[in-house]
Amino acid sequence: MATSSGNSSVCTKFKSFGSEEDLQILMDQRKRKRKQSNRESAKRSRMRKQKHLDDLIEQVEKLRKENSEILTRVSIITQHYDRVEAENCILRVQMGELSQRLQSLNDILELINTTNGIYEMDNCYVTGATDYNFMNPMNMMYLNQPIMASADMFQW
């Protein structure tokens, strides 16, 4: 009975609109309205997707440009680093050579200062063992001080 009353209310509703043709026209209008609304919604959705795609393309271009700038800076910094490293290598070699020279000079001074005899000759002092005859032009005994040098004294 509930089923028949439900159907009867639908039938009454349909009857209130008029004939079946009127009902069909009404349903067609609703269908067209729904289709139009769906088309507009789909169009808005496509527009949103297109805008999102355009934004992503713009972001990709911006990131590519930024990446290129970073790569350029890295290349410049790498070249600078290589130049500094080469210069450091040259300076290390020069420092080694100068250290060896300084050590040789200090060895000579130590040898001169540790010799046993001091011989007098024409009011000049000569220091050294019998194998070494080294004249002191200042008429003084050599002081026991190492020779100090800085790298900027030896500019090539």
Quick one: pLDDT at residue 49?
Answer: 97
Taking the C-alpha atoms of residue 98 and residue 101, their distance in angstroms, rounded to an integer, is: 5
Specify which of 33-37, 123-127, 133-137 reaches the highest per-range mean pLDDT.
Answer: 33-37
Average pLDDT score over residue span 49-78 = 98
Residue 153 has pLDDT above 90, yes or no: no
Give the pLDDT of residue 53.
97
pLDDT at residue 31, rounded to an integer: 94
> Do the beta carbons of residue 127 and residue 87 sit within 8 Å?
no
Q: What is the pLDDT of residue 150?
A: 63
Confidence (pTM): 0.45
